[in-house]
Amino acid sequence: MKLIISSVSGEPIYEQIKRQIRHAVFDGELKPGDALPSLRSLARELRISVLTVTRAYNELANEGIVVNVQGKGSYVADHADATMRETLAGQVDNALRQVGVAARAAGIPIVDLMGMLEKAYNEAG
C-alpha cells in the first residue's frame, strides 16, 4: 500500500491517511490481520509528524477499521470491511433522507428523482 499525501488539498493529512487506508481495506488491498506500516516508518516515509500518523491510526481504531496492539503495531480488524459497509450504508441513508425532503419541497416526482439518482450513481462509478 502506497499512501500519497497532498499538502495543498485542504484536507488534513490525518484524514488523507484514514481515507486511503479505508479505501485499501474496502477494495481488499489490505486484508484482515494485515499489519499497517509502523507509526515511525510511515511518518518518516511521508515526512510528517508521528503524532499525525498516531491520530489517523487511533481514529481508524475507534471506527473499528484497525486494531492497535501495544508494542506490536496496528493491524486491519477482522470485520473492518463489514464495519465500513455499515457506516457507509448509514451515510447513504442519511443523505437520501435529505434528498427526499428537498425533492418533496421542490415538487420533484419520485420517478424523476429515481432517474436523477440513477444518473448520479452511474456517473460516480
Q: What is the arithmetic mean of pLDDT over 96-120?
A: 95
For residue 50, what pLDDT is reported?
97
CA separation for the pair 106, 51 (Å, rounded):
47
pLDDT at 83: 78
- Confidence category of residue 38, pLDDT binned at 50, 70, 90: very high
**Same domain for 71 and 119?**
no
- In this structure, the answer to whether residues 73 and 98 fall within a common structural domain is no
Do residue 68 and residue 30 come from a single domain?
Answer: yes
Based on the domain organization, do 71 and 48 belong to the same domain?
yes
Residue 114, all three cell numbers? 429515481
Q: How far is CA 90 from CA 25, 41, 54, in A?
A: 18, 34, 26
Looking at the fold, whether 68 and 91 belong to one and the same domain comes out as: no
In a domain, 3, yes or no: no
pLDDT higher for 83 or 102? 102
> 85 and 74 in one domain?
no
Residue 107 lies in a domain: yes
Residue 119 is assigned to a structural domain of this protein: yes
Report the chain's mean pLDDT, rounded to a whole number: 92
pLDDT value, residue 57: 97
Range of the domain at 19: 13-78
- Considering the domain architecture, whether residues 61 and 34 belong to the same structural domain is answered as yes
Average pLDDT over residues 80-107: 89
User: What's the pLDDT at 82?
Assistant: 80
Q: Residue 88: is its pLDDT beyond 90?
A: no
- Domain presence at residue 72: yes
Residue 91 has pLDDT above 90, yes or no: no
In a domain, 70, yes or no: yes
pLDDT band per the 50, 70, 90 thresholds, residue 124: confident
DSSP structure string for the chain: ------SSSSS-HHHHHHHHHHHHHHTTSS-TTPBPPPHHHHHHHHT--HHHHHHHHHHHHHTTSEEEETTTEEEE-TTHHHHHHHHHHHHHHHHHHHHHHHHHHHT--HHHHHHHHHHHHHHH-
Total domains present in the chain: 2
